[in-house]
Amino acid sequence: MRILALVPGGIGDQLLFFPTLETLQQSFPKAAIDVVVEPRAVAAYRLCPVAVTPRPFDFKARNSLADWANLLGILREQEYAIALSLGRNPNIGLFLWLAGIPQRVGYGDSLFLTDRVPYNGHQHAAHAYHDLVKGLGIATPPPKVRIAVAKADLEWANRERTALGITGGYIALHPGASLLSQIKGIDKIYPAAQWVEVLQGLQAQAPDLPMVLLQGPEDGAIAQEMVAALPGIKPMVPPDTGKLAALIAGANLFLCTDSAPMHIGVAVEANLLALFGATDPAKLLPVHPNFQFVQAPAGQPIAAITPTAILAKLLT
């Protein structure tokens, strides 16, 4: 038996879908599960606690009919028994019907879906995604978002910390958000100068605790500015999501914005504080004693959060 999931979106969306994949594995232990994801999000599956096969397809590209036909042919060859679609495009049901998949579960009211699930966006996103299994008659509650960090990645993180002279705890900060969110004008970047003020305040309280700057491939400019202002900060560039997760898991405190690294921090239950702009934190950050957030005042950008407000949250 083969199960297919169409999961558009970035790494964060994939991590939030992991609980649904776990439930599918538990409910169909002998099934092979494939996930169609955008190329930029394939890296998330290095952390997936479930054995799945990611199949890259750029949902957001200007795909030609030939591109869709090629994907359709690939899916038809696999003879899937069940398909779940996280997207809400009304044409997805037709596409899955053309792929010859007998049970097709998705949001909305497409006539080509065999099982329709209402989308409840007023809850945590992972729970909204998990609602899809109700279309299969599965009523189990969603598990926590969790990941599997490979032993090799943990060993790499230990070696890198040792090379930087870090033998104990540390504070980690990941300032970035995806390039796509920046292109779309989504407000997720907190200014470097204000991050510097936050770290200086923390250094004053814990001068012996090293500061580590975790830099992604799209964070070069902001990282350069922060390193210039804080000569003592230790920049690290994890080469993949597994090694990033290992460094986040080892931190005493993890600072971030609403981004994929935040979801990794949640999955490893790091002691974290996340900054939010207009996005409702309740939809992305579960209630947990390790998780804190500061949100910009209503109608204002994320830069309106003051370093004083962040330090007050951390030090009280």
In the chain, ranges of CATH 3.40.50.2000 domains: 2-136, 151-315
pLDDT tens digits, 300-315: 999 999 999 999 999 8
Instruction: Classify domain 151-315 at the CATH class level.
Output: alpha beta
**Sign of the CA dihedral running 105, 106, 111, 115:** positive
Residue 118 to residue 11: CA distance in whole angstroms: 24
Q: Which position has the token pair 């945590």?
A: 124
- For the stretch 205-218, pLDDT in tens is 999 999 999 998 87
Which tens digits make up the pLDDT trace of 157-203? 999 999 999 999 999 999 876 555 555 666 788 999 999 999 999 99
Whether 107 has a pLDDT exceeding 70, the answer reads: yes
Q: Which amino acid is at 269?
A: E
Q: What percent of the chain stands above pLDDT 70?
A: 97
Q: How confident is the model at residue 219 (pLDDT cuts 50, 70, 90)?
A: confident
Amino acid sitting at position 63: N
Region 2-136: CATH code: 3.40.50.2000
**Are 173 and 199 a contacting pair, CB within 8 Å?**
yes
Q: How confident is the model at residue 52 (pLDDT cuts 50, 70, 90)?
A: very high
Per-residue pLDDT at 98: 95
**Residue 182: what pLDDT?**
57
Which long-range contacts does 222-226 make (Cβ < 8 Å, 24+ apart)?
A: 222/175, 222/176, 222/189, 222/192, 223/175, 225/192, 225/193, 226/175, 226/192, 226/195, 226/196, 226/199
pLDDT digits (tens, 9 = 90+) for 66-76: 999 999 999 99
10 φ/ψ angles, rounded to the nearest 5 degrees: -90, -165
Burial of 285 (0-12, 13-18, 19+ CB in 10 A): buried
Check residue 42 and give its pLDDT: 96
88 vs 54, more confident: 54
